[in-house]
Chains A and B, each alone.
Chain A
Amino acid sequence: MKKVKVYVTLRESVLDPQGSAVMGSLHKMGYGEVEDVRIGKYLELVIGDSERDVDALVNELCHRLLANTVIEDYRYEIEEVVSQ
């Protein structure tokens, strides 16, 4: 069994109005050193033992549903989970 941590982020070329609003708020709070805020998504998947290559599988899931690659990039980490 594996735990896959997927990070989905807006591409650099895409404006992130939500991130801009949060940055504006941080600036008002006095944290002027914050130069940029980008908001993304974090997903955790637990993947059972399978014949399929886990990298190929995760890439397929990301391309087909988890990320919209027109505007988003993704990266992921895989952890082995020892079942108890």
Chain B
Amino acid sequence: MKFAVIVFPGSNCDLDMYHAVKDELGEEAEYVWHDSKDLSGYDGILLPGGFSYGDYLRCGAIAQFSGVMDEVRKAAEAGKPVLGICNGFQILTEAGLLPGVLLRNKNLKFMCRTVGLKVENNNTLFTNEYEQGQEIQIPIAHGEGNYFCDDATYSHLKENNQIVFTYADDFNGSRNNVAGIINERGNVLGMMPHPERAVSELIGGKDGLALFRSIVKQWREAHVSHA
């Protein structure tokens, strides 16, 4: 499986993302610059964390109009897995690929620590290697991770099982502790925590690895013929 790791000016988790799929899983991965006009050769699209365009105006606001975003939209429409982590999640909400928005943390602090996450839906292409309701330990690192959406949007997300991860504890003010959501079709996931930073015991845990394994497993099942 071949992944594109999109690199915006100001991305800083691109190397971790690359490391997770390339070195830990042994899949193909390439860095793709933000003005690329062609993602057709990739099977999965990864939008990394960081501070694209310096977070100017709003987090992800400028990046949504990067040249590559038309291609990201096309990939999403084609049903390819699109994963946005942290700033990548913020970009996906600004681009309208996921509903809601990420506000400043309620305590106004940039928070960087490992937190408990509950897998609310393991029936997705991103979470099939987790148990339903499993609690995993994943690092967070954000100043704007306070998920907000209106009541109608929240009900809709809830009814469609689009809330994939919630925080075990409320620390940033996110509505109903939402940490990660998926689109209706089930191929675009945005989450604030960093699974790509939890892929080896050497760096404190590997609860994030199953997320990447899930993507690859699902893709293999769909694309590898057993002749």
Contact = CB atoms under 8 A, between A and B. Distances in A.
Interface of A: 13-15, 17-18, 21, 41, 65-66, 68, 70-71
B101 A71 contact: yes
A71 B94 CA distance: 11
B94 A68 contact: yes
Given A13-B150, A15-B106, A17-B104, 6 more contacts: A14-B103, A15-B103, A17-B108, A41-B57, A68-B101, A71-B101
B210 interface: no
Contacts of B149: 70
Nearest to B99: A70
Contacts of A66: 57
B65 interface: yes
B73 to A, nearest CB: 15
A13 B106 CA distance: 15
9 contacts: A15-B103, A15-B173, A17-B108, A17-B173, A65-B61, A68-B94, A68-B101, A70-B150, A71-B101
Interface of B: 57-58, 61, 65, 94, 100-101, 103-108, 148-150, 173
Nearest to A21: B108
Contacts of B104: 17-18
B103 A71 contact: yes
Nearest to A69: B101
Contacts of A71: 101, 103, 148
B147 to A, nearest CB: 11
Which of A18, A41, A66, A70 has its CB near the most chain B CB atoms (within 10 A)?
A70
Contacts of A17: 104-108, 173
B58 A68 contact: yes
Contacts of A65: 57, 61, 65
Contacts of A15: 103, 106, 173
Which of B57, B100, B104, B105 has most chain A Cβ within 10 Å? Answer: B57
B103 to A, nearest CB: 7
Nearest to B94: A68
A67 to B, nearest CB: 9
A14 B57 contact: no
Nearest to B106: A17
A30 B106 CA distance: 24
Contacts of B105: 17
A77 to B, nearest CB: 20
